[in-house]
A and B are shown apart, each in its own frame.
Chain A
Amino acid sequence: MNLGVGIGYRRDIADIITSRSAIKPDFIELAPENWMGMGGYWGKKLRAAAEVFPLTAHGLSLSIGAPDELDFDFLKRIKAFIKEHNIQIYSEHLSYCQCDNAHLYELLPIPFTEEAVKHIAKKIKQVQDYLEMPLTLENVSYYTAVGPEMKESEFISAIVEESKCQLLLDVNNVYVNAFNHNYNPHEFILDLPLHAVKYIHMAGHTQVSDDTIIDTHGENIIAPVFDLFDWTLEHINPCSVLLERDFNIPEADQLNYELNTLKEIANHKWTAHEIKYA
């Protein structure tokens, strides 16, 4: 499914997105946890946006990588939300934010272990069966590995292989992780099961020290990340692309520049694109 180039629907920019006056994304993505069960002022804003744009959902709290079993009450509400708003793609993070029945609301690094692969693949299958749609999982940024038995790319590949889930390739996260953990981002991407990539995220980040970048979604996308995006598109099938901007949101001109640059690159790379994976 290729919805074009979209933008994350955030409350700070809800009105300029819905009015389509200053920026014109092809679709919008929202975090269902921030909107489920929401009435009143924001419920009205969401309904207005849903009338204008196709929607995708990018979850925060499924915690697919947690040792805990799935929360089916939560999944039931996700399923209802997906149905109510005709959500086209449901993506989540290959991480965990809950452990031992406690939520931390932050994406934590899963140990890259065989045991985790088996456990997570089982949970992914349960989610896909329950929701009756594919689960698309994002490679997350992380600042330390925890008890790794394999490389990150091997871990992701094993999960995709075992669960048959789809991949959300966050190109900025690849750049951030490659910098933070000193690997080659191109080699990393080529090591992934690229046939499974159905969605791309792009964002900015913040370098906080000589050897550490934090994935803040609070800065403009830098040129090397655009370059990596450009290169990546040569290796994957056309799919939806999303601009994420959560903090320090700039004027519409900058958002337009980033949306248009992503569109130009996608149009250039994918117009003559040979479908690589059936």
Chain B
Amino acid sequence: MKSNTHKLQSDFVQTVKGGISDMKGVDRPDRVHHYQRLIKNIFKDVLESAYPITHKILGDEKYSELISDFLLCYSCKDPQYWRMPYEFKVYLEQTELVDHGKHPYLSELLNFEWLEIEIHSQQDVNVKLRQGEIILNPYAELLELKYPIFKHSSHEQLKKGGPYYLIIYRDLEKLTVQFSELNSMSFQLLYSLKGVPQDKDAYCDLIVANTDTNSKATIKHQLDSFIQSMLDKDILLDSSIA
């Protein structure tokens, strides 16, 4: 059972969330709206900034309604408020206030927008590579998507089914987040370089050996070019830049 003080605090929280309208014990009920406004602004600012495309597609009115419902019904667990948009993403994926049939791409779009934040902020890691080794940028996510959420921001265009392949990653020089569309082969190649360093020559030899073609030299050349272009973009790392 809650103590009196605990009950006062629980009731006050429900009051500022908008769930109780006439709480007893509040000295200045005429000022409660300041708390309501301040809290709503905190949520609004961070959630509009985190999901600009989702916000645009759903529209101001709907997005504001969702933020209010999130505030009232969801219990944010993360003490770091800049991570609160992740919890909003989880909430939006589940809430019945969004017509998911009308917006089938929403989950992918939210994930894409959240990854921009997460990859930008992700804690730095120390990558050590030996001469000749390559690895996928540790600040990168490979996405296989049903909808072109990285290309368009209009509802109709977003519904054009895929598949689409995408990498979203941190540019190690500018420390900004970039993304690049891939074909399915590139996607698979990069996926196989995730997490574990590979000797570049041995890796290429293995790929070429497993290719059912007579023009292995051409494949080797194309593979070398592909790896170099990925190294140039910081999508792959080698010992010179890791």
Contacts and interface: CB of A to CB of B under 8 A. Distances in A.
A143 interface: yes
A38 interface: yes
Nearest to B176: A41
A40 B139 contact: yes
Main SS class of interface, A? mixed
A265 interface: no
A74 interface: yes
Interface string B111-145: 00000000111111100000000000001000000
A33 B79 contact: yes
B151 interface: no
Contacts of A131: none
A150 interface: no
Interface in B88-113: none
* Highest count of chain A CB atoms <10 Å: which of B34, B43, B74: B34
A38 B31 contact: no
A136 B199 CA distance: 53
Main SS class of interface, B? helix
A51 interface: no
Contact of B76 (A71, A103, A146, A180): A103
Contacts of A38: 121, 123
Given A43-B123, A105-B42, A110-B9, A144 B81 contact: no
Interface in B139-161: 139
B3 interface: yes
Interface string A74-116: 1000000000000000000000101111111110111101011
A33 B122 contact: no
B13 to A, nearest CB: 4
Contact of A113 (B4, B10, B17): B4
Nearest to B34: A143
A147 B123 CA distance: 43
A40 B13 contact: no
A36 B10 contact: no
Interface stretch (B22-30, B48-56, B187-195, B222-230): B22-30
Nearest to A106: B39
A18 interface: no
Interface in B77-92: 77-82, 84
A219 to B, nearest CB: 16
Interface in B175-201: 175-176
A39 B77 contact: no
A156 to B, nearest CB: 16
Interface in A189-216: 208, 212, 214
Contacts of A96: 9
B75 interface: yes
Nearest to B24: A147
Bin the interface of chain B by size.
Answer: 35 or more
A40 B175 contact: yes
B58 interface: no
B38 A106 contact: yes
A42 interface: yes
A36 B13 contact: no
A100 B13 contact: yes
* Highest count of chain B CB atoms <10 Å: which of A106, A143, A146: A146
A119 B34 CA distance: 27
A147 B25 contact: yes
A39 B121 contact: yes
B5 A119 contact: yes
A66 interface: yes
A103 B79 contact: yes
A67 B6 contact: yes
A126 interface: no
Interface of B: 2-6, 8-10, 12-13, 16-17, 25-29, 31-32, 34-35, 38-39, 42-43, 74-82, 84, 119-125, 139, 170, 175-176
Given A67-B9, A105-B76, 8 more contacts: A33-B81, A40-B139, A44-B175, A98-B79, A103-B78, A103-B79, A108-B9, A113-B5
14 contacts: A40-B139, A41-B120, A44-B175, A100-B13, A102-B13, A102-B75, A105-B39, A106-B39, A108-B12, A115-B3, A146-B12, A147-B8, A147-B25, A180-B31
